Amino acid sequence: MDYFLDEDQLMIKDLARQLTEEKVMPVRSELDEKEEFPWEIMHAMAQSDFFGIYIPEEYGGLGKGSFELILAIEELSKGCLGVSTTFAANALGTYPLLLFGSAEQKKKYLPDIASGKNLVAFALTEAGAGSDAAGVQTTAKLEGSEYVLNGTKQWITNGGEAEIYTVIAMTDKNKGARGASAFVVEKGTPGFSFGKKEDKLGIRASSTTELIFENCRIPKENIIGRQGMGFIVAMKTLDSSRTGVGAQGVGVAQGAFDASAAYAKDRHQFGRSVISIQAVQHMLADMATQIEAARALVYAVAKFIDAGAREVSKESAMAKLFATDVAMKVTVDAVQVMGGAGYMKEYPVEKMMRDAKILQIYEGTNQIQRNVIGQALIKETAKKRK
Ligand code: COS
């Protein structure tokens, strides 16, 4: 689907493909095995301006949009979902500042994010708040000119490695969703430390940790948006970032398809190439069709967001839901097409299958995506009736 890409978009895609082939693929199984954070790759990406793709030019970025960002995410995901998660979660953590940050906050933080000097993490999830985003227990109490944060965040991507954290905490526990606020917290702030590092099934190159806030004092200027807006900040952030998860699904599915189709062509059984056997051909045909459908939806939604659409919850949930369900199905089928070889660590598809599972879980489970779509449909139906 390259035919409608402009020159800049083709350049971003080509550069991402080249970086994936040269820097990611040769080390992906080692990063996976050792659960090693991909700093070398992040530095190479910073040198090629990947971190600035979606950041406005006035803050040192390239001034492009969601569409260009997802092109890069898709290419990286063909190589390694752990690496692409590190990159995509950086955008997730940056969206609260991009969408709701003050001019001062943008001036202070965005240039070092665009250059790749500072990585970012988004901290919403807690032991008791995942799907139930309004169930956050971490508190932020205003004391004079400072907010004092207390609580523990769980499963935070880029935790420990990022310099900047966008954190959702309750400023008024009695108000539910309307009692949440968003903050920016810098690594090294006294009272802010890192807890358990998770040992994961997949995306093992990415870092997932606890964040611990114990009487962590931050200047009151670090609030993002206004007090009480935290839930909206979180929801709008997820509306923007979920298309990126969809792009991860498209990328990993394409990577698994390519590996399994190549293997099926080379492998011979019953005196002929496995790819010439109709049962295998039909599997590959279904996989390829599902990938193209997912790509078309993800691209369309990214373009819809870039066109300035205000309400994108339903569409971004659809892109995430569809493309990540496709990713799970296609990676499982890629292992099946390859048979015994697919199950072995010598080939990349078993890792892709393990990696793909998280896409149906993070940034809102696919059950939550269906809730979001369902709620939007109810609203639309009510409007049509009036
Ligand atoms: N944009 C703007 N406003 C939104 C919104 C959105 N996308 N989604 C909800 N809101 C508003 C609602 O309109 C409502 O406003 P009012 O109080 O003025 O009516 C308020 O926010 C609360 O919304 P709602 O009642 O729908 O909240 P719920 O607690 O029922 O939660 C879901 C809604 C399930 C959609 C939300 O909790 C969610 O997205 N959960 C998943 C979070 C997630 O992705 N977690 C993964 C970890 S983060 S990587």
**121-228 — its CATH code?**
2.40.110.10
Phi/psi of residue 253, nearest 5 degrees: -65, -45
Q: For residue 131, what are the CA distances in angstroms to 152, 218, 362, 363, 367?
A: 16, 27, 9, 9, 9
361 Cβ closer than 6 Å to some ligand 1 atom: no
Question: Of 128, 278, 149, 169, whose CA–CA distance to 218 is shortest?
Answer: 149
236 Cβ closer than 6 Å to some ligand 1 atom: yes
- Side chain identity at 71, as an amino acid letter? L
Structural Rg of the chain based on CA atoms: 21
Helices (H), 23-116: 28-34, 39-47, 66-79, 81-100, 103-114
The two three-digit tokens of residue 83, written as one number: 């690496």
Q: How far does the centroid of ligand 1 lie from the alpha carbon of residue 232, in Å?
A: 7
Q: What's this model's pTM, rounded to 2 decimal places? A: 0.97
Domain ranges for the chain, please list them. 2-117, 121-228, 231-385
State the 10-residue block means of pLDDT for the chain, 386 residues long. Answer: 89 98 98 98 98 98 98 98 98 98 98 98 96 95 98 98 98 94 98 97 98 98 98 98 98 98 97 97 98 98 96 98 98 98 97 98 98 97 85
Superfamily, domain 231-385: Butyryl-CoA Dehydrogenase, subunit A, domain 3 (1.20.140.10)
What pLDDT shows up at residue 99?
A: 97
Beta strand extents in the chain (DSSP E only): 120-123, 139-143, 146-157, 164-170, 180-186, 192-197, 208-219, 223-224, 268-269, 272-273
239 Cβ closer than 6 Å to some ligand 1 atom: yes
**2-117 — its CATH code?**
1.10.540.10
Quick one: 172 exposed, middle or buried, by C-beta within 10 A (0-12, 13-18, 19+)?
A: middle
Residue whose Cα lies nearest atom 3 of ligand 1: it is: 232
Question: Is 210 designated active site?
Answer: no
